[in-house]
């Protein structure tokens, strides 16, 4: 089977770290120190990723607070039953 570039546009080979660097630690110098410019880029990426996750979380929380009419009625009934229990416990 031939691997044509047209049929596999979305398949990309993972980039390899240059020799002398660690893929897990990012680009580092030969003495093991992390390049400050690369470290800054990584922290910026992490911060942006966390901000987008927080925004998605907020959107999910907003959508979860919307109750169906049946759920609203159920919550009202639970509240009324709780109030009745409190009144009965007084006797």
Evaluate whether 39 touches 31 at the Cβ level (below 8 Å): no
pLDDT by position in tens, the chain (length 91): 444 444 444 445 545 555 544 444 445 555 566 787 888 899 999 999 999 999 998 888 777 677 789 999 999 999 999 999 999 988 7
Rounded to two decimals, the pTM is 0.34
Specify whether the backbone of 3 is left (phi greater than 0), alpha (psi in -120 to 50) or beta: beta
């Amino acid at each position: 089977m031939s691997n044509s570039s047209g049929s596999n546009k979305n398949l990309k080979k993972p980039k390899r770290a240059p020799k002398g660097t660690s893929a897990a630690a990012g680009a580092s110098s030969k003495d093991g120190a992390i390049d400050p410019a690369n470290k800054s880029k990584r922290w910026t990426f992490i911060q942006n990723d966390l901000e987008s996750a927080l925004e998605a979380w907020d959107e999910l929380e907003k959508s979860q607070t919307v109750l169906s009419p049946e759920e609203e009625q159920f919550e009202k009934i639970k509240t009324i039953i709780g109030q009745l229990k409190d009144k009965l416990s007084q006797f």
